[in-house]
A and B are shown apart, each in its own frame.
Chain A
Amino acid sequence: MNALGNYSLYIAFGLSVWGIASAYLSYRNRDERYLRSALHAIYGICGLVLLAIILLWAALLRNDFTLKYVWEYSRTTQPAIYKITALWGGMDGSLLFWCGLLAIFSALAITFNRKNNMRHLPFTSMVLLMTLGFFLFLLSFKTNPFAPLRDSAGILVSTYTPQMMRAVQGNGLNPLLQNFYMAIHPPMLYTGLVGFAIPFAFILGALAHRERNTFWMRSARNWAVFAWMTLGVGILLGGYWAYIELGWGGYWAWDPVENASFLPWVMGTAFLHTFLMQEKRGIYRFWNVFFIVMAFLLSIYGTYLTRSGILQSVHAFGQEDPSIPWYFQLGNIFLLFMAIMAILSFGLILRRRALLKSGQELESAGSRESMFLYGSLLLGLIGFVVLFGLTSPIFYRIVTHHELDRGPEYYNPRILPIALMVLLVMGIASVSPWKKGGWASYRKQLAIPFLAGLSALAASLFAFFRGGQASLTDFHSRPLTYIYLFACVSFSFFVAAIILEEYFRTARQAHRMGRAGKLSCLLSPFRENPRRYGGYIVHLGIVCVFLGVAFSATFQREYQETMKPGDAVRFGPYVVRMADLQHDDLNADLQKVNDVRIWADLQVFRGNKLVALLRPMRVFYSANPQQPTYEVAIHSTLLRDFYTLLAGFDLNTNSATIGAFVNPMVAWLWLGGVLLLVGGLIALIPMRNW
């Protein structure tokens, strides 16, 4: 069956080549026969890539080590769930998964738009087929997950006798990826990254077919919301995985691959806001197209950075063999594709520039329209800063042959002030009036939120400086950090108050106008304007993320102590007593078990009260026993996380080194993620029938 999987990729690639030609002919000749043929090609590719995915999963589950990919990323003793997730654990499989998602989304998008947007489909389907064709080319000729395994003597493992075969054990999935969140984080992330291809193709399609307005293209907007939401949740899930798996107490390190997923999300956020303005006022047509093109190109750029080996990152898929000729190196093929898509997109923007002129002029710098533009441009600026930070080390290395490390010291001072401005604009835009609305109209609507922000600032200043001399010394040691923190607290309360005030005003109004009862009016904002109020829930989620990041980054405290069973040690506000240090059978044959664990049983007290029993572990996976992974144990509340890990152990002396972090308000980040998902779903799914 592996041959069928292998050939299905070649056949799908052939279909994509024909599909591109056929879509182009239908665009030139307006002949429906060619369009139908191109659409059939998309459906055919979808079926064939799904077949390949199913066959690869089957090979992983039945330990078919005649395939190189299965040998590299699976192992007989690996739990079934991680055999399934091994599909996206390596480069070849993850590209197949990427391609599968794109094929499914493309097939769904053209099915939903066949009736209503038929005249745009020739160019739209050509763009989708070009993207599919690119990934299928890689899968067929460069990163084929059905490539056979050869042993060190160059003999095909498939020619081994059954007896020889029994001795073949897989390499196994990277232990860091053997985590439940790795089962859901990559699919969410890929769904988001791939999802941007659909609105990109539809908007380019509309532009190519000289459509002046795209505001009625519900499909493009819905796909963009879907992609944006899943990418946002995927990024936060990635942060959660890093938090619980890497044992460093943090969740975001401005790692190049993290940034690469953040970039399309930022551009997608800007797009969703300019799209709303185009829908209502016919303005920002250029920005609309620009942001969706950037979201798509940057999602491909992110895929390139992760897979080309050009970057060192915990998330990267490794280096490419330097003996491969330059024109066949994966990174260069990616660059070529990105160049083609960039030329196609910006060339089209240039040719159709007359269509992209705004239908109306801005009438006031304080209007809602202007606020949306400020917010989108600030997001674009964040994107530019991150893109520069991400890309400049690559050019620096090429020119100087030296490494340039861009970490938090580059990003934080540049991103934080802009992000705070985005937060402020996000709040003000919610109450801003349309068209001529001047500053005077803000006075009434912002009074309560302004008081809320001011009170929050006063309360946080009081709480901080109550600490006396120690707080002052701390403030003087890093004044900017504290200024950002106080600004963040103040702005967050200001924005939250605006959103809540808006929500209750709308609900009250619905009741007053007789559209809803006393209690049911609480649902009416979501019924009457789900996109706006879904968006406000997302904004509340963003406020939570801001607060979580600000407090955890400013007040994180780290502790470490070596203990023996029975010892009790104070870690900040907690007292930890080590009850026991235990382990699995350390002499177990790692060929027969997936992992061996060592753990400490900790009792955590606050005051005299036992608040948690924690069990931090080190796990030695058979896939890589030299590098045991951390399984941290966390006592999480809304106010703080008490984060413990087994930093070291000595079984001869029966002692363990316990590392601990007290991380204030980290849970708010994950709460923000939940709100982002809920708000996104409300904006996506009409509630009129509820």
Chain B
Amino acid sequence: MAGTLLSLVVAVAAFGWVLAPLFGEPKEISQARSTDQIQEAVNRSVRELKTDLELQKIQASDLEEIQSFLESESKR
């Protein structure tokens, strides 16, 4: 019996907590992109490719081309 009553309390608390945000003011979900993360990903890729340039696994012109492609993609 105690377990059932406790379950009831837990159910009320859980649903109350889950439904609580609905009683707030309407707000649109931010559509902003994470510029930090995107830039970090581009930088990381370029940094790794620069190591490959030192190891002669990529030509300088190809690296520049890839870098500008990644920069343009990151803005799309």
Chain A interface (Cβ within 8 Å of chain B)? 1-4, 6-8, 11, 14-15, 18-19, 26, 30-37, 40-41, 44, 47-48, 115-119, 121-122, 212-213, 215-218, 279-282, 359-360, 368, 431-437, 441, 502, 505-506, 509, 513, 528-529, 531-532
What are 11 A-B contacts defined by CB distance under 8 Å?
A1-B3, A31-B26, A34-B22, A47-B14, A122-B29, A216-B37, A218-B37, A279-B45, A436-B62, A513-B54, A528-B47
Q: Is the CB of B59 within 8 A of A435?
A: yes
B3 A33 Cβ-Cβ under 8 A: no
Q: How many angstroms from the CA of A469 to the CA of B15 in the assembled complex?
A: 78
When C-beta atoms are compared, the residue in chain A nearest to B23 turns out to be: A33
Known: A7-B11, A115-B34, A436-B59; 14 extra A-B contacts, CB below 8 A, are: A30-B31, A33-B22, A118-B32, A119-B30, A212-B76, A218-B41, A280-B48, A281-B66, A431-B57, A434-B57, A434-B62, A509-B51, A509-B55, A532-B48
CA of A280 to CA of B67 in the docked complex: distance in angstroms? 9
A18 to B11, CA, bound (A): 13
Query: Measured between C-beta atoms, what is the minimum distance from B45 to chain A in Å?
Result: 5
Query: 7 smallest A-B Cβ distances: which pairs?
Result: A3-B3, A7-B7, A36-B21, A116-B34, A216-B41, A434-B58, A435-B62
Bound Cα distance from A212 to B69, whole angstroms: 14
CA distance A11 to B29 in the complex (A): 28
Quote the shortest CB–CB distance from A294 to chain B (angstroms): 24
Give the residue name and chain of the B residue nearest to A524 (CB): B51
In the complex, are the beta carbons of B28 and A282 less than 8 A apart? no
Most chain A CB atoms below 10 A, which of B17, B29, B69: B29
Q: Mark B37-76, 1 if CB is under 8 A from A, else 0.
A: 1101110010111011011111100110110011001101
CB distance from A195 to the nearest CB of B (A): 21
A36 to B56, CA, bound (A): 50
> Assuming the A-B contacts A7-B10, A216-B41, A435-B58, are A280 and B29 also in contact, with contact meaning beta carbons closer than 8 angstroms in the complex?
no
Establish whether residues B66 and A11, one from each chain, have CB atoms under 8 Å apart when the complex forms: no
- For A27, give the chain B residue with the smallest CB separation: B29
Check B66 against A31 for contact (C-beta < 8 Å).
no
Known A7-B11, A15-B14, A280-B45: A433·B58 in contact at CB below 8 Å: yes
Q: Determine whether the beta carbon of A118 is less than 8 Å from that of B69.
A: no
> A-B contact count, CB below 8 Å?
158
B7–A119 CB distance below 8 A: no
Determine the residue in chain A with the shortest Cβ distance to B58.
A434
* Known contacts A3-B3, A41-B18, A44-B18; is-contact A30 B28 (Cβ 8 Å): yes
CB distance from B9 to the nearest CB of A (A): 10
Contact B57 A31 (CB under 8 A): no
On whether the beta carbons of A215 and B11 are closer than 8 Å, the reply is no
Residues of B within 8 A of A6 (CB): 7
Which residues of A have CB within 8 Å of B70? 280, 282
Residues on B with C-beta less than 8 A from A47 are 14
What A residues does B29 contact at CB under 8 A?
Answer: 26, 30-32, 35, 118-119, 121-122
Q: Smallest CB–CB gap between B19 and chain A, Å?
A: 6
A119 and B54 contact, CB distance less than 8 A: no
Are B34's CB and A11's CB within 8 A?
no
CA distance A215 to B46 in the complex (A): 13
Known: A11-B14, A33-B22, A40-B20. A434 touches B69 (CB 8 A): no
Closest chain A CB from B29 CB (angstroms)? 5
Compute how far the CA of A435 lies from the CA of B67 in the bound complex, rounded to whole angstroms. Answer: 13
Minimum C-beta distance from A341 to chain B (A):
24
Interface contact A44-B14, CB-CB below 8 Å: yes
Q: Most A CB atoms within 10 A — which of B14, B36, B41, B52?
A: B14
| Contacts known (A33-B26, A40-B17, A216-B41); A528 close to B49, Cβ less than 8 A | no
Evaluate contact between B66 and A434: CB separation under 8 angstroms.
yes
List chain A residues, Cβ under 8 A from B65.
435
Give which listed residue, B3, B7, B36, B56, contacts A116 with CB less than 8 A: B36
Residue ID in chain B nearest A55 by CB atoms: B3
**Distance (Å) between the CB of B53 and the closest chain A CB?**
9
Determine whether the beta carbon of A33 is less than 8 Å from that of B7. no
Q: Would B57 and A11 count as touching, CB distance under 8 A?
A: no
Complex: how many Å from CA A368 to CA B21? 49
| Contact in complex: B17, A44 (CB < 8 Å) | yes
Output the residue of A33, A118, A502 with the most chain B CB within 10 A: A33
Report A-chain residues with C-beta under 8 Å of the C-beta of B32. 118-119
A513 cross-chain contacts in B, Cβ below 8 A: 54
Instruction: Report the Cα distance A99→B74, complex, angstroms.
Output: 36
Q: Which residues of B contact A212 (CB under 8 A)?
A: 73, 76
B residues within 8 A CB of A116?
A: 34, 36-37
Q: Give Cα distance in the complex from A213 to B34, angstroms.
A: 12
* Residues of chain B contacted by A121 (CB below 8 angstroms): 29
Q: Which residue of B lies closest to A39 (CB)?
A: B21
Establish whether residues B15 and A15, one from each chain, have CB atoms under 8 Å apart when the complex forms. Answer: yes
CB of B6, distance to nearest CB on chain A (Å): 5
Residues on the B chain within 8 Å of A2, using CB? 3
Cross-chain contact of B28 among A7, A32, A40, A359 (Cβ < 8 A): A32
Cα(A44)–Cα(B18), bound, Å: 8
Give A644 Cβ to nearest chain B Cβ, in Å.
Answer: 49
Q: How far is the CB of B15 from chain A (nearest CB, A)?
A: 7
Q: Which residues of A contact B11 (CB under 8 A)?
A: 7, 11, 14
Q: Nearest Cβ in chain A — how far from B11, in angstroms?
A: 5
Chain A residues in 8 Å Cβ range of B30: 32, 118-119
A113 vs chain B, min Cβ distance (A): 9
- Closest Cβ–Cβ distance, residue B24 to chain A (whole Å): 6
Q: Which residues of B contact A359 (CB under 8 A)?
A: 69, 73
